[in-house]
A and B are shown apart, each in its own frame.
Chain A
Amino acid sequence: MENGRNTAVVTGMAAKPGVQKVLDLLFASETVADKIMVNKQEIIQLDKRRQQTREAIREINKHNEQKVWTTIGSMLVKLDRKKALEMLEKDKVQIDSEINKLRSEQKILVNEHRDIEHKLPFKGSNLKPMNSKEMSALRANLPLGN
């Protein structure tokens, strides 16, 4: 839909080449920005799911009933405890990897957005993190701040 609106505006003012360029840039930056916002929301939703899954696993572990009530989609099903746990664990792994994927995508998108706005990309975000041992050694000796 947005795409349609964009072209409509352009045909009206096609005479000026500068206008076209500005609109193109705006369109590109808005598209990327929109994607970033969507991803952000998705990460939040996934994290919500992750917390719920974690709560559920704890809950099942606390009680030792043989069968537990679980929702699958909108259905409430009484499942075997072992089976339910297995499913939840699988969910958990799935969600974690999904979040990681989104986060790394987010980094690329943000730098892309900065590129469109003619800003330099964030430096160092593509580095591998230091391990905690190295970091704590550096932290102990250097004024790194928070």
Chain B
Amino acid sequence: MTDAEKLEVRDITRIERIGAHSHIRGLGLDDVLEARAVSQGMVGQKEARRAAGIVVQMVREGKIAGRCILLAGEPSTGKTAIAVAMAQALGNETPFTSMSASEIFSLEMSKTEALSQAMRKSIGVRIKEETEIIEGEVVEIQIDRPATGTGQKIGKVTLKTTEMETNYDLGNKIIECFMKEKIQAGDVITIDKASGKVSKLGRSFTRARDYDATGAQTRFVQCPEGELQKRKEVVHTVTLHEIDVINSRTHGFLALFSGDTGEIKQEIRDQINGKVMEWREEGKAEINPGVLFIDEVHMLDMECFSFLNRAMESDMAPVVIMATNRGHTRIRGTNYRSPHGMPLDLLDRMIIIRTVPYSEKEVREILKIRCEEEDCVMNNDALTVLTRIACDTSLRYAIQLITTANLVSRRRKSTEVTVEDVKKCYALFIDEVRSSKILMELQDEYMFNEIESDKAKDKDSIKGKGKDKDEEKPAEPMECGDN
């Protein structure tokens, strides 16, 4: 059992699969928020990055809670990249939730529930924990057992730090703790003053030569410095959603780990809001509004937009950042047309950051960074060809070619990717433009080819129903093209 306790729980460093934005470390700004040309994985988009930097600064200072920011721009101009960079720049003390708007459509949860969970995930509550601990290296430990075997044990322990040394008399209960942890001279331990819990941090370096053979799990630590009795203050940030989940009794805390939380009742949310407010009044907690990022925001429908509109007015609202690549289009589920496919009243509340298409030079930089990220050595000519491909087709397609070309070059046991590899991949994997061209040419040979008859039918229905139905049809394949 003691072994199980020794298992140490480490913070999991977020291991991401090589995603499209895994190379981004931050916004790449200097001290005065001026964007550097190439830095922290970001390339170009100077204005947008600078704007994002100002937003980050304001979020850090807690100045713009309950605001809304829209990242608008053409497909693959770095909207998601900027959002990821903002998350990195905010650090891990500010909650950052990233979601795609289509995530909210689920059978288990209503749309507004999914949205309000996402919002509450982005609001942190800062609380402080304070413990008095005694931390030191055991110089000597002496436990007297009565001859009968049972009964009161008494003991003595000498603890030291680099600065001082002192004796403690031990009572029966704490001796049990010492024995359970198998504390012996040379161990570095901490004793929690309030609970009397003893924990072993490891063995002191100065005692490393005590034994010739030591187990692999022995950890050596420095003798603690400074005072023996220390006060440890830890500030935790928990999100409102986490508190919601542990208090929603039907699910229990396991739901927090499985991620399947279902719907949380509004009463519970109200209670928790009340409790958090009470803590805040008492000076025990601070609200730390974070950031909610909604990608592909044009996928939200009218109901969600009005919910967001309302939710952003509450006093515990995060900063909402949205991204869209749509121009003037229909609001989902309605016949109203609006810029970015969002209702005008919501749009009015937003600060809009625009991203612009990358120049050829910038595309080259991005591809270079991606090559490094994927451990792919590419020679200059190949990179030039790939840049050309990226400009003619799309940046995403070119980035995918890096991975495949790398594999091809490795197959022929080459250390670097050459023009031939890229060409081969370009022939093997077709891009969207070529794909649709082939479809157009050979459509008669595919199954269920009913486009002609569809059109005829559509024309009939136009007369019956809405006006611009056939305008919507060609737009359809775009819908899933940008993922």
Contact A120 B163 (CB under 8 A): no
The answer, yes or no, to whether B128 is at the interface (CB within 8 Å) is: yes
Binds B, one of A4-12, A47-55, A73-81, A82-90: A47-55
Answer yes or no: A130 CB below 8 A from chain B CBs: yes
A142 interface neighbour in B195, B231, B246, Cβ under 8 Å: B246
Answer whether residue A16 sits at the interface, using C-beta atoms and an 8 A cutoff. Answer: no
A54-B234 Cα distance, complex, nearest whole Å: 27
Q: Say whether A135 contacts B256, CB under 8 Å.
A: no
Contact A142-B238, Cβ < 8 Å, known A50-B229, A128-B128, A129-B128: yes
Q: How far is the CB of A70 from chain B (nearest CB, A)?
A: 18
Determine whether A38 belongs to the interface, using a CB cutoff of 8 Å to chain B: no
> Which 7 pairs across A and B sit closest by C-beta, in order of nearness?
A47-B227, A129-B130, A124-B235, A51-B166, A141-B246, A127-B128, A141-B253
Interface CB pairs A-B, < 8 A, 30: A40-B226, A51-B164, A51-B166, A51-B228, A51-B229, A120-B61, A123-B286, A124-B128, A124-B286, A125-B233, A127-B284, A129-B130, A130-B127, A130-B128, A130-B284, A132-B194, A132-B195, A135-B129, A138-B127, A138-B236, A140-B253, A141-B253, A142-B246, A142-B253, A143-B256, A144-B236, A144-B238, A145-B11, A146-B9, A146-B234
Is B169 on the interface with A (CB-CB < 8 A)?
yes
B283 touches A123 (CB 8 A): no
Docked pose: A120 CA to B93 CA in angstroms? 13
CB–CB A103/B231 < 8 A? yes
**Known A138-B238, A142-B246; contact A128-B283, beta-carbon cutoff 8 A:** yes
CA distance A138 to B243 in the complex (A): 8
Q: Indicate if B126 sits at the interface (CB-CB under 8 A).
A: yes
**B164: nearest residue on chain A (CB-CB)?**
A48
Q: Interface 1/0s, chain B 215-247, versus A by CB < 8 A?
A: 000000000001111010111101000100010
A44 in the interface, Cβ–Cβ < 8 Å? yes
The answer to whether A44 and B233 have CB atoms under 8 Å apart is: no
Interface of A is mostly: helix
* Chain A residues, Cβ within 8 Å of B238: 138, 142, 144
Contacts of A54 in B (CB 8 A): 166
Q: Any chain B CB within 8 A of the CB of A43?
A: yes
Q: Is A58 an interface residue (CB 8 A)?
A: yes
- Residue numbers in A under 8 Å from B234 (CB-CB): 146
- Digitize B103-133: 1 where CB-to-A-CB distance is under 8 Å, 0 elsewhere: 0000000000000000000000011111000
Cβ-defined contact, B126 with A58, below 8 A? no
CA distance A50 to B134 in the complex (A): 13
> Per a CB cutoff under 8 Å, which of B93, B166, B167, B169 touches A123?
B93
Assembly CA distance A138 to B200 (angstroms): 23
Q: Within the assembled complex, what's the spacing in Å between the Cα atoms of A44 and B234?
A: 21
Query: B282: CB under 8 A from chain A?
Result: yes
Q: Give the residues in chain A near B129, CB-CB below 8 Å.
A: 129-130, 135
- Asked whether A44 and B227 contact (CB < 8 A) given A130-B128, A132-B194, the answer is yes
For the complex, give the distance between the alpha carbons of A46 and B231 in Å. Answer: 14
Cβ-based interface call for B25 (8 A) = no
Point out the residues of chain B lying under 8 angstroms from A120, CB to CB. Answer: 60-61
Residues of B within 8 A of A103 (CB): 231
A128 to B284, CA, bound (A): 5
Within the assembled complex, what's the spacing in Å between the Cα atoms of A120 and B130?
22
- Residue total for A at the interface (Cβ-Cβ under 8 A): 32
Min CB distance A99 to B, Å, is 8
Docked CA distance A54–B11 (Å): 38
Given A48-B163, A129-B233, A138-B127: 14 more A-B contacts, CB < 8 Å = A44-B163, A54-B166, A103-B231, A123-B235, A123-B286, A124-B126, A127-B126, A127-B127, A129-B128, A135-B129, A138-B236, A142-B238, A144-B236, A145-B9
Q: Provide the residues of chain A in CB contact with B284, threshold 8 Å.
A: 127-130
Check if B285 is an interface residue, CB within 8 A of chain A.
yes
Within 8 A of A (CB), among B251-289: 253, 256, 282-286, 288
Q: A138 vs B238: C-alpha distance in the bound complex, in angstroms?
A: 9
B241 to chain A, nearest CB (A): 11
Query: Quick one: CB contact mask for B16-45 with A, threshold 8 Å, 1 for yes?
Result: 000000000000000000000000000000
Known contacts: A40-B226, A125-B233, A130-B129. The answer to whether A55 contacts B167 by CB under 8 A is yes
A-contact bits for B366-390, CB 8 A (1 contact / 0 none): 0000000000000000000000000
Chain A, residue nearest B253 (CB): A141
CB-based contact B246/A127 at 8 Å: no
**A46 CB to nearest B CB, Å:** 8
CB nearest to B167 among chain A residues: A55
Chain A: which residue is nearest B199 at the CB level? A146
Q: Mark B438-455, 1 if CB is under 8 A from A, else 0.
A: 000000000000000000
The reply to whether B166 and A127 form a contact with Cβ atoms under 8 Å apart is no
Docked complex Cα distance between A58 and B167 (Å): 10
Bound form: Cα–Cα A144–B253 in Å: 13
Q: Are B126's CB and A123's CB within 8 A?
A: yes
Give Cα A130 to B164, complex, Å. Answer: 31
How far, in Å, is A49 (CB) from chain B's closest CB?
10
Q: Which residues of B contact A40 (CB under 8 A)?
A: 226
Query: Considering the chains assembled together, what is the distance between the CA atoms of A84 and B158 in angstroms?
Result: 24
Those of A2-28 within 8 Å (CB) of chain B: none
State the CA gap A120–B61 with chains docked (Å). 9
Q: Select the residue from A58, A127, A141 with max chain B CB neighbours within 10 A.
A: A127
Alpha-carbon gap, A103 to B227, bound state (A) = 12
* A127 B256 Cβ-Cβ under 8 A: no
A95 to chain B, nearest CB (A): 11
A143 partner residues in chain B, CB cutoff 8 A: 256
CA distance A55 to B235 in the complex (A): 33
Q: Which residues of B contact A123 (CB under 8 A)?
A: 93, 126, 235, 286, 288
